[in-house]
């Protein structure tokens, strides 16, 4: 939106290694409760569960190639 900053919160997570950091991020996202608006949390959870992401097999174009897949998957979840 052009008239305000839509950022509601910033989540910064760290861990002893990538696996720990991903696990802590998932746990932190589970604790978020935001009511009244849609958020990107389901999308972020999908990214964090993706085997390519978990294995570090991503590049700068990786997410671009996954958007359609994630969008379809999240739409199905919302309607069920």
- How is residue 51 written in tokens? 């085997």
Helix 18-31 vs helix 41-49: crossing angle, to nearest 10: 150
Q: What is the pLDDT of residue 5?
A: 62
Q: Please answer whether residues 40 and 46 qualify as being in contact, where contact means their C-beta atoms are separated by less than 8 angstroms.
A: no
Q: What is the pLDDT of residue 75?
A: 77
Show pLDDT as tens, one digit a residue, over the chain (80 residues).
566 667 788 899 999 999 999 999 999 999 988 888 888 888 899 999 999 999 999 999 999 988 888 888 777 776 66
pTM of the complete model:
0.76
User: CA 71, 64, 15 angle in degrees (round to 5)?
Assistant: 90
Tell me, what DSSP letter sits at residue 4? S
């Amino acid at each position: 939106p052009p008239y305000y900053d839509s950022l509601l919160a910033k989540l910064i997570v760290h861990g002893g290694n990538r696996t720990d950091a991903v696990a802590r991020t998932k746990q932190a996202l589970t604790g978020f409760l935001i009511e009244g608006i849609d958020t990107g949390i389901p999308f972020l959870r999908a990214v964090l569960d993706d085997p390519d992401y978990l294995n570090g097999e991503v590049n700068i174009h990786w997410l671009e190639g996954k958007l359609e897949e994630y969008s379809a998957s999240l739409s199905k979840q919302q309607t069920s």
